[in-house]
Structure 1
Amino acid sequence: MGTLSTLDWSILVGTLLFIVVYGVWRTRGSQNVNDYVRGGNDAKWWTIGLSVMATQASAITFLSTPGQAFHDGMGFVQFYFGLPIAMVIICLVFVPIYHRLKVYTAYEFLENRFDLKTRSLAAILFLIQRGLAAGITIYAPSIILSAILGWDLQTLNIIIGTLVIIYTVSGGTKAVSVTQKQQMFIIMTGMFITFFFILGYLPADINFSKALKIAGASDKLNILDFSFDPKSRYTFWSGITGGLFLALAYFGTDQSQVQRYLSGKSVRESQLGLIFNGIFKIPMQFFILLVGVMVFVFYQYNSSPLNFNPSATKTVMESEYASDYKLLQEEHDKLEVEKKMAQDEFSAALELKEFAAIEEAKLHIIAINKKDSASRIAAKSLIEKADDGAETNDKDYVFIHFIIHHLPKGLIGLLLAVILSAAMSSTASELNALGTITALDLYKRNKKGTFTQKHYVTASKGFTLMWGVLAILIAGVADLFDNLIQLVNIIGSIFYGNVLGIFLLAFFFKFVRGNAVFFAALLTQLIVCVIYYYYIHIYPSGEEKLGYLWLNFIGAALVITLAVLMEGFDRVLRTTS
């Protein structure tokens, strides 16, 4: 399982080395802060658009999203419904202000509007959440590739982190932007090729249209959920509210994204780049989910493991529960035979266009799926009994299992390059932003004395290197966490709403001053953490009392309300005294 062909190794290593060498070569010689942090302000809209998309599209996207669709269908796409609206708002409000003030960071604007402590607080909140996220974007592909290929986890963390550090420290923002164009090309090429291979692997009488009907029979194509249940993570309403606020915060205030469009040649180029992202992001995510749905259809006709995580299976098979697990596996194998026969019945009914037969076959499929789901849950329970620290959630392993076991030589190397390229792309943006914020918002602003441009470029490189090492260290202990598929978004949701609220106060509430905002933000962060702990964290995944996307709306609304009340109370006190 852990052996790759020479062709796969050649494609994998060659692709990754090309990205690193190209990034260093294209961006050699950045000697001033404008070149290093804002890429010389010469980026065209297509570079900005692809860079923005690549920053968001981490390895987790290409590992977890197909697995999410395999298990739960297409409903996850609702997560992105607020994004196009957010892009329009950012283009109209955020981008013109940032360009007019010629800021290097988003938080520089907050000092101009409020004071230094508010700027520093927002910067520190960013550093905490994005520093954790950088470690996780390295850890996520490492843990999965380690489990599937048998590679050492810590070695993978160091390899991914070091490759990113080399070109990010060397070339700064421009290095990130120019390499992300190549990475997006590699990523989408690999996904399209995989999609058509899956279709080719289906039985001869199953075309794309029939494959969609097969997926639909198992409720994998339920895209829209208009329910108002706050417990549901992904609904139309959570997407255009919580998702909107998350997108506004991420693209409007997160330096890893702001830095992408601050490098634009003009306001128009930056705006066009963001609109490009707004138009194509949902179709891209829809397509990646569709790949996962097609993997589901593929496994209706081909055998699949009871649990896709090989290390979890190995754990239980070496425990006292091995015989129980074998019985479940035997039952699973019988169900797979039944499943294929049921799909053949459904396909035949579709050909004959007999409504009653179609509905009967569909009910048969649903019944088998329920049994299959029950056996998989029972398998997870046995794995937990064997080792309560084992990762039983195998969504992240579905797509990589298909890649390793069913794609031809050469294409495996390309898809592994896709996953590692996505990890490098997101991590590069994060390290670039972390280094910039530390150097300019904290170091430069609080250090006494006058220094040259070269000094601050060196400082930015040093802090980027520091965060790169920290990210590798965080990745090294990230096995303390679980739920990788949503962990990055959950961490962001805890902090983003608060930070977005600070910016909205700066833009639209001109009477509110720095002290009120600062203390409102501190109190809001504390309240959001309490809400997360008691209403989301202590409940199993998918069963929490509140969907985590709502934290973005709550954080933004709370900091605005508290700041306005505090400012009003302060004015009353000053008036009466």
Structure 2
Amino acid sequence: MEFSLVDYIVILGYLVGVAWLGIRIAGHQSSTSDYFLGGHDIPWWAVLFSVVATETSTLTFISVPAVAYGGDLTFLQITFGYITGRILVSRLFLPAYFKGNLTTAYQFLKQRFGSSMRNAASTTFMVTRLLADGVRLFATAIPLAIILRLGGAFTGWTDFEVYLLAITVISVITLAYTLIGGIKAVVWMDVMQMVVYIGGAIFAGVIMITDLPNGLGGAMTTAAEAGKIHLFDFGFDLSFSEFIAQPYTFFTALVGGAVFSVASHGTDQLIVQRLLTTRNVEDGQRAIVWSGVVVALQFGLFLFIGLLLYAFYDAQTAQELGLATTDEIFAKFIVEELPVGFSGLIVASLFAAAMSSLSSSLNSLASSTTFDLYKPYWGEGNTEAEDLRISRIITTVWALILTGSAFFFAFLQLQEGERPAVVELGLGIASYTYGGLLGAFLLGRLFAGPDIRDALIGFFVGLVSLLFMVEGPIHAVLPGEPLVIAWPLYTLVGSAIVVLTGKLSQWIRKRA
């Protein structure tokens, strides 16, 4: 089955509708408070869904079902850590942010340590978002290219050309409503787009259950017989080096996921900005804690779809189905099994997931650039209108930079010919740098003694130390067998090194 004209009309109508509706919903923006914080008047439940939509990429939609199809449910263990981490953020960080009337997360570091620490953290955030979101934007084009090609579209195009088209369309539409509507447009469009992609996933699941000869019960029996209902893996049979390198054992997922979540939702402007748009600290706490529960339910839904796909395709491997990897299995079902018009709706939902992530990145990067780097040095005497104009210019510049970054990764990926390597590298960048950011925040939040020198020394020692524990090119020049840790532990180890080094620096300074 190929895409019909109706499918293409649905996709085009959705993209145009998103741009128009996003601009209409946002209303008039008269100040940077409106543009970046929504006037502190956005309902907590809308922020909750915006946080979840921001975390959800197109790869989540396509790849999480493939995890269950090719493995089991142990991936879900990490969501227990996510919920735990968000509870800690709600108690440890949010009260300090609201008390200080902050615009960005990194202004806390300025209040505690000074401008140098804020600049270091803010710049690290920007580099992290540039690389990680550049890869994520490029990665968005992968499933879209698969679906469009399976649907018979763009058969004469190269992979690179299809990637450039998808990246450009997503960037232009997202910039349109983000540039004009600011954070209010971003949050409310996130809510709508989450409804679209979750609704699309549920609809696909219902179609599968309807078409299965033995229904839902038969699918679960098939999955159970193949050992796919397995949820908990404690890893007690592994050696220590194997244990710390395995990301989905229970305690690694719980502790690593919790610390990662504390860093991503407590120190990353991408999420903190959303929480600061709520009306008060209690609303922010509700939004962050319940977002963890919704994320767990969302991952559960996508894993459940993977189990249904396993039964639907009679446990065939990707190669037996004529596909390159298991990541293409859900795409195959979308193109070949859904009714006319609904395939287009699912592709539109993939665009929705991509745009919600990109719009959040653009607005958070612009807010951090404006308030952490521009205003303190060049814009102190600006009027609100001048600040708003500069903010929109900065938003546009970041859109161009992120699009260029995605183009670069697309080119690099096709040159190397090993798609998973570059994607995993890009998506792991955030886990790597979060250790330094979280350590700096903990050093300032929990200890009164360390000063700016201790914080900067700890921050950079933490970042450099992780290079020796993350599998990469440095290991090639190290003697012996290098120590490799699983990605959920990057943030835990990195933040611990920052805090310990900062306290050690304080002790040495006092002794001297």
Normalization by structure 1: what TM-score? 0.80
Greater CA radius of gyration, 1 or 2?
1
Query: Shift in Å at residue 281 of structure 1?
Result: 1.7
Aligned equivalents of 1:453, 1:255: Cα separation in 2? 22
Counterpart of 1:474 (choices 380, 386, 405) is 405
Aligned equivalents of 1:265, 1:487: Cα separation in 2? 37
Residue deviations 1:247-269 (CA, integer Å, cap 9, x gap) = 11111111111111100011121
Are residue 511 (structure 1) and residue 449 (structure 2) matched? yes
Does structure 2 retain, via aligned residues, the 8 Å contact 1:520–1:562?
yes
Aligned equivalents of 1:86, 1:523: Cα separation in 2? 24
Aligned equivalents of 1:221, 1:529: Cα separation in 2? 36
Are residue 217 (structure 1) and residue 244 (structure 2) matched? no
Aligned equivalents of 1:117, 1:304: Cα separation in 2? 51
Change (3 A) 1:231 1:516: same
Change (3 A) 1:147 1:196: closer
Counterpart of 1:238 (choices 252, 270, 275) is 252
Residue deviations 1:67-97 (CA, integer Å, cap 9, x gap) = 1221122111112221111121111121111
Query: Shift in Å at residue 429 of structure 1?
Result: 0.5
Does structure 1 retain, via aligned residues, the 8 Å contact 2:468–2:483?
no
User: 1:265 is matched by which residue type in structure 2?
Assistant: R
Residue deviations 1:515-551 (CA, integer Å, cap 9, x gap) = 111121112111112321459987xxxx994211111
Does structure 2 retain, via aligned residues, the 8 Å contact 1:64–1:485?
no
Alignment-derived partner of residue 239 in structure 2: none
Alignment-derived partner of residue 328 in structure 2: 397
Does structure 2 retain, via aligned residues, the 8 Å contact 1:81–1:236?
no
Matches within 5 A, 1:150-549: 150=149, 151=154, 152-203=162-213, 206-228=214-236, 229-300=243-314, 305-306=319-320, 309=323, 394-447=325-378, 449-479=380-410, 480-481=412-413, 482-483=419-420, 486-534=424-472, 545-549=484-488
Residue deviations 1:394-415 (CA, integer Å, cap 9, x gap) = 2432211221122221110111
Percent identity for Structure 1 against Structure 2: 28
Aligned equivalents of 2:423, 2:353: Cα separation in 1? 15
Aligned equivalents of 1:167, 1:453: Cα separation in 2? 21
Query: Shift in Å at residue 558 of structure 1?
Result: 0.4
Aligned equivalents of 1:569, 1:303: Cα separation in 2? 59
Aligned equivalents of 2:110, 2:224: Cα separation in 1? 53
User: 1:223 is matched by which residue type in structure 2?
Assistant: L
Query: Shift in Å at residue 16 of structure 1?
Result: 2.2
Does structure 1 retain, via aligned residues, the 8 Å contact 2:73–2:229?
yes
User: 1:504 is matched by which residue type in structure 2?
Assistant: L
Aligned equivalents of 2:224, 2:486: Cα separation in 1? 26
Change (3 A) 1:485 1:63: farther
Aligned equivalents of 1:221, 1:257: Cα separation in 2? 32
Does structure 1 retain, via aligned residues, the 8 Å contact 2:461–2:497?
no
Query: Shift in Å at residue 148 of structure 1?
Result: 3.7
Query: Shift in Å at residue 448 of structure 1?
Result: 6.2
Residue deviations 1:278-335 (CA, integer Å, cap 9, x gap) = 22221211111111111111111779644765xx6xxxxxxxxxxxxxxxxxxxxxxx
Matches within 5 A, 1:13-24: 13-24=12-23
Query: Shift in Å at residue 556 of structure 1?
Result: 0.7
Change (3 A) 1:148 1:194: closer
Does structure 2 retain, via aligned residues, the 8 Å contact 1:139–1:157?
yes
Aligned equivalents of 2:136, 2:329: Cα separation in 1? 18
Query: Shift in Å at residue 246 of structure 1?
Result: 0.8
Query: Shift in Å at residue 28 of structure 1?
Result: 3.4
Does structure 2 retain, via aligned residues, the 8 Å contact 1:45–1:264?
yes
Counterpart of 1:563 (choices 498, 502, 508) is 502
User: 1:194 is matched by which residue type in structure 2?
Assistant: A
Tell me, which stretches of 5 or more residues in structure 1 are unaligned? 313-393
Which has the larger displacement, 136-145 or 175-184?
136-145
Does structure 2 retain, via aligned residues, the 8 Å contact 1:536–1:544?
no
Alignment-derived partner of residue 159 in structure 2: none
Aligned equivalents of 2:38, 2:483: Cα separation in 1? 43
Residue deviations 1:113-153 (CA, integer Å, cap 9, x gap) = 10111101101111111111222222112123224424422
Change (3 A) 1:546 1:395: farther
SS at match of 2:27: coil
Does structure 2 retain, via aligned residues, the 8 Å contact 1:114–1:513?
yes
Change (3 A) 1:448 1:168: closer
Which has the larger displacement, 482-491 or 233-242?
482-491
User: 1:11 is matched by which residue type in structure 2?
Assistant: V
Aligned equivalents of 1:207, 1:283: Cα separation in 2? 22
Aligned equivalents of 1:478, 1:537: Cα separation in 2? 23
Aligned equivalents of 1:544, 1:198: Cα separation in 2? 44
SS at match of 2:246: coil
Matched residues, number: 483
Query: Shift in Å at residue 25 of structure 1?
Result: 1.2
Residue deviations 1:414-460 (CA, integer Å, cap 9, x gap) = 11011110000011101111111111111112226511122222222
Does structure 1 retain, via aligned residues, the 8 Å contact 2:102–2:108?
yes
Aligned equivalents of 1:469, 1:307: Cα separation in 2? 39
User: 1:207 is matched by which residue type in structure 2?
Assistant: G
SS at match of 1:130: helix
Aligned equivalents of 2:368, 2:33: Cα separation in 1? 14
Change (3 A) 1:560 1:308: farther
Does structure 2 retain, via aligned residues, the 8 Å contact 1:37–1:173?
yes
Aligned equivalents of 1:283, 1:485: Cα separation in 2? 25
Aligned equivalents of 2:94, 2:9: Cα separation in 1? 42
SS at match of 1:300: coil
Alignment-derived partner of residue 572 in structure 1: 511
Residue deviations 1:10-68 (CA, integer Å, cap 9, x gap) = 22222222222111112232121111111111011111111111111111210111112
Aligned equivalents of 2:474, 2:310: Cα separation in 1? 29
Change (3 A) 1:536 1:182: farther
Aligned equivalents of 2:474, 2:272: Cα separation in 1? 29
Alignment-derived partner of residue 102 in structure 2: 103
